[in-house]
Amino acid sequence: MPDRIILEGMRFFAFHGNDVEEQTLGQPFVVDIELEADLSIAGASDDLGDTINYAEVYRTVRRMMERHPRNLLETVAQDIADAVLSVFPVDAVTVRVRKTQPPIRDARLESAGVEIQRRRG
């Protein structure tokens, strides 16, 4: 199994969705991200410069969540994956984006979302 850096439960209020109300009123989202990278050098050195800075990853995800509204969660997840792969030295990224209040009439569910995985090259 490859080494992973995991950020779970990042919470954002954003304006993504296909309904007009979603893009004007906004709603809460939860994002999880897993980064695959070789962490052995950082494990040996104990030096932040040898790994991926969690705070920078969070800021990248936040920037993608707060930019212009997207109709689909698939597009939001792809935007995040593309940004992470372009900025950080990772082999792969898994992105989960969930709406915690999906606009489904009479639905009783905790969330609705997507998960994508993208690899470098």
Write the pLDDT tens digit of every residue in 82-102. Answer: 999 999 999 999 999 999 988
The pLDDT score that the predictor gives to residue 107 is 78
Among residues 35, 99, 103, 117, the one annotated as catalytic is 99
Domains and their CATH numbers in the chain? 4-119 (3.30.1130.10)
Is residue 100 exposed (0-12), middle (13-18) or buried (19+ Cβ within 10 Å)?
A: middle
- The DSSP secondary structure of 12-44, one letter per residue, reads EEE--SSSHHHHHH-EEEEEEEEEE---HHHHH
Instruction: Assign 1 a pLDDT band (cuts: 50, 70, 90).
Output: confident
Q: In what order do the strands lie in the sheet with 27-36?
A: 4-14, 27-36, 92-99, 112-119
pLDDT for residue 43 is more than 80: yes
Closest CA to 118 of 73, 86, 6: 86
Q: Among this protein's residues, is 105 annotated catalytic?
A: no
